[in-house]
Amino acid sequence: MINKSSPIPIYHQLEERIKTEIEEGSLKSGDLLPSEREYAETFKISRMTVRQAISNLVSNGYVYRKKGTGTFVSQKKFEQILPGLTSFTEDMKRRGMVPSNELVEFSILPAPEEVAHALDIKNSESVYKIERIRLADNFPMALETTFVSKHRIEGITEEIAHTSLYEYFESTLNLNIDHATQLIESSIINSEEKKLLHMKTGDPVLLIQRTTYLDDGTPLEFVKSVYRADRYRFMIDMKR
């Protein structure tokens, strides 16, 4: 399976081979990977080459190293299909997982510049700031800070923030959520957020900003999220 006369670097061939084994399920999450020495002997390649392949798989979140024990296959990443404007609660329920929230902050404050701009309101206008750790089966997946105009949307409480905001907007307030614009950027976790998401310094995250609009074009929410990049990936269908 490793072709030494191919122009494709050997480390890359090995990396792809291990990725396929993970994707096809012959290596499952939690499985211990063969050691560097075993791979080197099996494929008659150098340990340096094996190390390079494994390092790339570690950086892409497919496997992780545990000091003194070895390298293990990571949990499968959640795939969110992008054109669907779904809520965290819906996404997790669809996967058969139990969503929950830990409230980090619930406050009402004058809109910061960036928030006022996104929500199309004045800086002095009050907004709800709702910061939540979003968990799936009690595992923290993301840290999400939502801003909503207080003048437009009345009645959000801490109790509601512990559940689904979209359900409150749609089922209780009968609002029609219509579309959103979303920005996705890669980064590394900062020191304040790493504890909340159970991550380590330097771990990769996806920073997501979403502005969601009602059917009459009014901005409903401006949301800044930090998603664990080792657990999440986004999929989009494209047509030409």
Which letter, b or e, does each residue of 110-131 get, where b requires 16 or more Cβ atoms within 10 Å of its Cβ?
ebeeebbebbebeeeeebbbbb
Measured CA distances, 206 to 121, 130, 216 (Å): 27, 19, 30
Q: What is the CA radius of gyration of the chain?
A: 22
Contact call for residue 232 and ligand 16G (CB under 6 A): no
In single-letter form, the type of residue at position 94 comes to: R
Contact call for residue 15 and ligand 16G (CB under 6 A): no
| Burial grade of 228 (CB within 10 A; 0-12, 13-18, 19 or more) | buried
CB of 134 to ligand 16G, least distance (A): 6
CB of 62 to ligand 16G, least distance (A): 22
From 32-40, 58-66, 87-95, 194-202, give the range in contact with ligand 16G by CB under 6 A. 87-95
From 14-22, 71-79, 106-114, 160-168, give the range in contact with ligand 16G by CB under 6 A. 160-168
Candidates 15, 131, 144, 230: give the one binding ligand 16G (CB under 6 A).
144
| Dihedral pair phi/psi, residue 14, rounded to 5° | -65, -40
From 9-17, 53-61, 68-76, 86-94, give the range in contact with ligand 16G by CB under 6 A. 86-94
Q: Which is nearer to ligand 16G, 33 or 61 (CB)?
A: 61
The rounded distance, in Å, linking the Cα atoms of 86 and 179 is: 10
Candidates 111, 127, 164, 189: give the one binding ligand 16G (CB under 6 A).
164
Alpha helix positions (H), the chain: 10-24, 36-43, 47-59, 88-94, 113-119, 158-161, 165-167, 191-196
Contact call for residue 175 and ligand 16G (CB under 6 A): no
Cα–Cα nearest to 1, from 20, 29, 24, 28: 20
Which residues in 198-227 contact ligand 16G (CB under 6 A)? 208, 210, 221, 223, 225
Specify the length of the chain in residues.
240
Q: Which is nearer to ligand 16G, 22 or 118 (CB)?
A: 118
- β partners of residue 65: 71
Contact call for residue 100 and ligand 16G (CB under 6 A): no
Candidates 89, 115, 143, 197: give the one binding ligand 16G (CB under 6 A).
89
Candidates 60, 87, 126, 145: give the one binding ligand 16G (CB under 6 A).
87
Which residues form the interface with ligand 16G (CB under 6 A)? Answer: 87-89, 144, 146, 164-167, 208, 210, 221, 223, 225
